[in-house]
A = this chain, B = another copy of it.
Amino acid sequence: MAADVTTDQTDGASGPAPGTQRPGGRTARTRASVLEAALAELVEHGYADTRIDRIADRAGVAATTVYRRWGSLENIVVDLADHLAVSISLGAAATLEEDLRAVARAVVALHGDPAHRAWLRAMVSAAAGSAKAQGALADVLAHRRELTSVAVAEALARGEVPSGTDPHEVIRATVAPLYLRMYITGEPVGEPEADRAAAAAALAARAGLYVTGTG
């Protein structure tokens, strides 16, 4: 089954950004232009070689405007998290493994999107050297785990996994082998890796390995 995953490259999905004059106003439009330009530059040049002045050129604004608003490339990359909001809809699967397969395939599908891949690479690169970027990346991934933890909640309700199973641990186990390949070793990922990761996480969850705390 294919995962229903969409990248929502619009502005304001999570409310007006700081500094927005009004929805759709000039400041909001500038923000959207700069973020789109930053994404295009990241895809073309990668994080290490992306320059704020080229982002400003591409967005048609003064570099000083970009520096005043964001201060650094790292802050732009962090701001892109809201801009690239992802929604993942899990179908009414009959088993945990089926739902986790949808989650794993969604992760692989997002990695196949050049803009999303370039942005996540930038986040991983920035996170390795900055507590702020690492916190932002952790928030993005925690939010995605929250979106997908319904799969585990349903498995709990069905009695498929033992009471006290930690949904976040199940999702972490599902996505970890994919993130290792995508953003650390750079090895290829596809549906076989996604399905294998989902099967392993479902098996371990059913065996009670993700029961944590006193739950």
| Selected contact of A124 from candidates B47, B128, B131, CB within 8 Å | B128
A136 vs B79: C-alpha distance in the bound complex, in angstroms? 30
CB atoms of A121 and B125 under 8 A apart: no
A141 cross-chain contacts in B, Cβ below 8 A: 184-185
A138 and B187 contact, CB distance less than 8 A: yes
Q: A162-198 interface mask toward B, CB cutoff 8 Å, 1 = contact, 0 = none?
A: 0000000100110111011101111100000000110
CB-CB under 8 A from A210, the residues of chain B are: 196
A203 close to chain B: CB less than 8 A? yes
| Most chain B CB atoms below 10 A, which of A128, A134, A204, A207 | A128
Number of copies: 2
Contacts A203-B203, A203-B207: A184 and B137 contacting too (C-beta < 8 A)? yes
Residue of B nearest to A178 (CB): B176
Cβ contacts under 8 Å, A196 to chain B: 169, 209-210
- Select which of B124, B135, B200, B201 is within 8 A of A184 by beta carbon: B124
A197: chain B residues at CB < 8 Å are 173
Q: Any chain B CB within 8 A of the CB of A49? A: yes
Residues of A within 8 A of B (CB): 46-49, 121-122, 124-131, 134-135, 137-138, 141-142, 169, 172-173, 175-177, 179-181, 183-187, 196-197, 199-201, 203-204, 207, 209-210
